[in-house]
Every structure is written in C-alpha cells, then in structure tokens.
Amino acid sequence: MKLPKMAVDRVVDELAVAELGDRRRTDRLSRIVAKLARTPAASLPAGLGNDAEVQAAYRLMNNEEVTFESVLAPHIKATAERAARVRNVLVLHDTTDCSFPALDPTEIGYLQTGKAGFRLHLSLVVDADTWRRPVGVINAEPLFRAKRSRAKSKSRPSGAQTAARSDREFDRWWRGIGASAAALSGCESVIHVADRESDSYDLMARNIEAQQRFIFRVRVDRRGRKVGDAADGWSTVRAIAVGCEGVLERQVSLSRRKATGMPAADKAHPPRKMRLAKLRFAATTVSIPRPQYLRDPVPRELQLNLVHVLEVDAPPDQQPVEWLLYTTEPVDTPEQVAEIVDKYRTRWAIEEFNAALKTGCAYEERHFESRHALLTMLAMSLPIACELLWLRSRARTDPTSPATDVVSPMQIQVRRALGSRKLSADPTAEEALLAVAGLGGHLKRNGPPGWKVLHRGMVLLLAYEAGWRAANQAQEL
C-alpha cells in the first residue's frame, strides 16, 4: 500500500526532531524514512533505490547512538499532543510476537516456539469520538527472552506461579498503562481497553488505585457475588452474568474467521462463517475476592461493573458469540452499556495495527542480524504503520475521499490499463483500494480486503508501475 505525500510528510516531520547526538544522523533518518514511507512493504534496496543509501541505512541502524527510544520519542510526543487536542481517547493495549525464524535466537531472543524473535507490547491511542481514528503509538516495549522456554507443560501458568516470578513479564501491562496515563495527562478522558490477558486482579486493583478507567475482557471465571442483593451468596462471574436480564439487543455483522491449525488459538477464537448476529447486552455490578496468592496492601475485594454480551439464536453449527467485560464505566442505562461494548469492539484496531506493521510495513521481512538494528527499524516502522492504519480506516469510513489519498496518479493510470476491475472517471479511495486488492486475488463477496491481499496487490501494482515507467522513458529516448 502506498502512502500519500501528506502522510509521508507527517511521518518525516515527526522524526526530524529526533535527538541522535549528531544532526547528520537525524537528517539521514529523515531521508530513509521518507523513502520507506512511500512504499512501506518494499525491501530496503527497492525502497531506498541504490546501494549507497542501503549502506547508509545499515550504518545508521547499527549505530549505538541511534536507539529505539530516541528514534520513537518524537512520535510518542506528537501522539500525546494530538491526543490532547482530541481530548477523549481510548488506549488499546496488546502484545504481539515479532518472529524472525531465519535469524540467530541467541542474538535476537527466543519466542515460546524456540525460534528467534521477541514480544512487543504496544499501547495505541485512538480518537474516542471521530470514527475511532488512530492517533498514534503512545508506548512500545520490546520484551526479550534470553533462553528458550523449558516448560514441559503447555498449559497457562497459574496466578500464583506468575506472581512468584521475579522478572514478571506480565507487569508489561501495568507499565504500558502507567506510561500511557502519564503521557496523556492533558486529555479530558482516557479509557484503557485490553483483551483477555489483562484479566488480572492485581492489575485491576492497581488501575482502580491510580484512578485509571478501563474495559478489560474476562478470561477467568473466578468467584464473585452480585452487589446490592443480600440474598445472593458467592457464585461465579459468568453465572451472575447469565442470570442478568438483558437491557438491549443489537444486530452486528460478524466477519469470517478461518481456522489457524493451532489448537489453542482455534479454541480461543473458533472458526466461523460470516453472518449477521443478534446480540443481547446485560450488565450488573459484582464483587470479586482477592486471590489467595496475593497479600496486603492489595485490597481484599474489588467492586467492578460487569457487562455480558451473548449471541441469541446462533446457527446450530456455530459457537455463539459471548463476551464478559470488567469495567469502571457506569452501567446504569442501556445507552451506557452499549457504549462500553462499542468501546471494547474498538480493540480490534490494534490487531489491524499489528497487521499493518508486519504485513503493510513488512517488518518481519527485515533480516538484520543484530537486535539493535531490528529495534531501530521497528522505531522507524511504527509511525508508518500508524499512517497505513489511518489510511485504510479513512477508505472504509470516508469511502468517497479521492483515490489519490491512497494511490498515485500514475498507479491509477496503470490500474486502468491492467486488471479486470474498472475504475470510474473520478475514482474514490474505496474504489482504488478494491482495485489494488483485486490484483492480490480479493473477491468482493469475501468482504473488505485484508492486509495480506492488499500487500499482494500492491506488490504487483508496484511491479506494473515500474514497467510502465520504463516503457514511457524508452519512448521518450
């Protein structure tokens, strides 16, 4: 996917103030980023254009004075400034694996699979009011494992086992929330949103103590009791939720989800067909007791609002959709409950961001041999991935915007001559994206195109454009 000039300029302007110890390094960073942002998925030689630029890029990325933190700092600052102007934001937190199986794990680090790679914990800010527009990355923490996991059991460690670890990798969640909250202190409203892995009593207790608002998805069906009903004894949070009366129903379009071939992933996110689902929302307030492995000063009980989302009349061969959400947000009215669900559904944007980074920017295809160079490349890629996400989001939410926001005039010309999908006389951004996706094998009946099919289409379009440009130059000779 190609970034328009305005987006490229925005990324370059952000990183142009990076403090790298020497102005020449910053100028070189700006030149490299400007070229890579124009064609984010291209290889370094293709994106930079000549051997001299490639060698300069390698020297910059391996320079010990050019760190991940120093390159990314201007983007984080710019994100905080944009967020302060937006005022009401959601912060989406997630951890993703960055895999480099062809590299040396003793240098890069080990993933759970034993292959080379590292975990990346991200905090992405989105506008809570304007179609959940991406604002930028506010925190990014790479996590490296120096040794391959020796655990014989594939089951998830217990809370007690996790709490006993001296290096507690899980604390990345609190570090991400704490850093985000500090950077976004100028915002009127900040709500943290996270998936199942954030379901930790200790983490929720810390957020409540720090007066941080959140919406976290429930993973553990722990003990609990309904607040305000003296007749109710201890039960489980799911049993309490199932017993609550629905406050509203809504129809939601569910996208198709393919099987991954990995039993754990397919169990957590079962394959499904595309369908229109009727969802019922319910809510209540629960009290949950402190786990036995935690001690003072962690509070003995937490009071949380609980939202239950359940699919009604699901097809017999499909597993019904069901969510349980802990939140600090009020649930007194149907409108408030619906707003909580809508805010949680925004969490999918960070999954899209991960795809923009790995596929749209081809980050996992960058085969630098040192950890330092990989991290420098990561810091350069994160702002570009934000622009890619913004661009595709705009094409989806403002489909009538001009095609030149997505592709170049020459690419439009090439696409008119090649490919089966016709473009109108004045094509829109939506038309252009679908035309590029068509080159990658996308079928309209499959719904909106994904990152992989867009990447395949853009690779072909760039090759066609190079041939078209060469043919035009030959005619001019």
Query: 396 or 294: which carries more pLDDT confidence?
Result: 294
Query: 352 or 437: which carries more pLDDT confidence?
Result: 352
68, pLDDT greater than 90: yes
The rounded distance, in Å, linking the Cα atoms of 274 and 257 is 8
pLDDT tens by residue, 110-166: 998 899 999 999 999 999 886 678 899 999 999 999 887 665 555 556 656 555 554
Distances (CA, A) of 356 to 125, 140, 155, 362: 15, 15, 30, 8
What letter represents residue 117's amino acid? Answer: G
pLDDT tens by residue, 316-325: 888 888 999 9
Using pLDDT thresholds of 50, 70 and 90, give the confidence band for residue 452. low
- Counting residues of the chain whose pLDDT is more than 70, the rounded percentage is 90
The mean-pLDDT minimum among 242-256, 261-275, 345-359 falls in 261-275
455, pLDDT greater than 70: no
59, pLDDT greater than 80: yes
pLDDT tens by residue, 152-163: 555 556 656 555
44, pLDDT greater than 60: yes
Using pLDDT thresholds of 50, 70 and 90, give the confidence band for residue 5. confident
Using pLDDT thresholds of 50, 70 and 90, give the confidence band for residue 231. low
Q: What local confidence, expressed as pLDDT, does residue 107 receive?
A: 92
Tell me if the domain spanning 221-332 has CATH number 3.40.50.620: no
pTM of model > 0.85: no
Q: What local confidence, expressed as pLDDT, does residue 166 receive?
A: 45
The rounded distance, in Å, linking the Cα atoms of 56 and 18 is 17
Mean pLDDT along residues 299-313:
94
The rounded distance, in Å, linking the Cα atoms of 312 and 322 is 10
269, pLDDT greater than 90: no
Nearest to 376 by CA among 142, 165, 114: 142
Query: 49 or 355: which carries more pLDDT confidence?
Result: 355
Distances (CA, A) of 329 to 176, 302, 336, 354, 473: 20, 14, 8, 27, 61
Provide CB contacts within 8 A for 271, sequence distance 6+: 257, 258, 259
Q: What local confidence, expressed as pLDDT, does residue 155 receive?
A: 58
Bridge partners, 214 (sequence order): 192
CATH number given to 399-476? 1.10.740.10
Mean pLDDT along residues 212-229:
92
By CB neighbour count within 10 A (0-12 exposed, 13-18 middle, 19+ buried), where does 248 fall?
A: middle
- Counting residues of the chain whose pLDDT is more than 90, the rounded percentage is 46
pLDDT tens by residue, 170-181: 899 999 999 999
∠ CA 359-360-361, rounded to 5°: 90
The rounded distance, in Å, linking the Cα atoms of 147 and 144 is 9
Show contacts of 312-319: CB within 8 Å, 24+ apart: 312/249, 312/278, 312/279, 312/280, 313/278, 314/277, 315/273, 315/275, 318/272, 318/273, 318/275, 319/270, 319/272
Provide CB contacts within 8 A for 141, sequence distance 6+: 120, 121, 172, 175, 176
The mean-pLDDT minimum among 42-46, 228-232, 350-354 falls in 228-232
The rounded distance, in Å, linking the Cα atoms of 389 and 384 is 9
Q: What local confidence, expressed as pLDDT, does residue 451 receive?
A: 66
Give the orientation angle of helix 68-86 with respect to helix 371-397, to 10 degrees: 20
Q: What local confidence, expressed as pLDDT, does residue 255 receive?
A: 74
Q: What number of CA atoms fall less than 13 Å from residue 289's CA on the CB side?
A: 11
| Highest averaged pLDDT of the listed ranges 190-194, 272-276, 403-407 | 190-194
Using pLDDT thresholds of 50, 70 and 90, give the confidence band for residue 106. very high
3-state secondary structure the chain: CCCCHHHHHHHHHHHCCCCCCCHHHHHHHHHHHHHHHHCCCCCHHHHHCCHHHHHHHHHHHHCCCCCHHHHHHHHHHHHHHHHHHHCEEEEEEEEEEEECCCCCHHHHCECCCCCEEEEEEEEEEEECCCCCCEEEEEEEEEECCCCCCCCCCCCCCCHHHHHHCCCCHHHHHHHHHHHHHHHCCCCCEEEEEECHHHCCHHHHHHHHHCCCEEEEECCCCCEEEECCCCCCCCEEHHHHHHCCCCCEEEEEEECCECCCCCHHHHHHCCCECCEEEEEEEEEEEEEEECCCCCCCCCCCEEEEEEEEEEEECCCCCCCCCEEEEEECCCCCCHHHHHHHHHHHHCCHHHHHHHHHHHHHCCHHHCCCCCHHHHHHHHHHHHHHHHHHHHHHHHHHHCCCCEHHHCCCHHHHHHHHHCCCCCCCCCCEHHHHHHHHHHHCCCCHHHCCCCHHHHHHHHHHHHHHHHHHHHHHHHHHC
Q: What local confidence, expressed as pLDDT, does residue 232 receive?
A: 62
Mean pLDDT along residues 33-46:
82
- How many residues belong to the chain? 477
C-beta of residue 223 within 8 angstroms of C-beta of residue 247: no
Domain ranges of the chain: 1-195+347-397, 221-332, 399-476
Q: What local confidence, expressed as pLDDT, does residue 373 receive?
A: 93
Show contacts of 456-461: CB within 8 Å, 24+ apart: 458/1, 458/2, 458/41, 459/41, 461/407, 461/411, 461/414, 461/415, 461/436
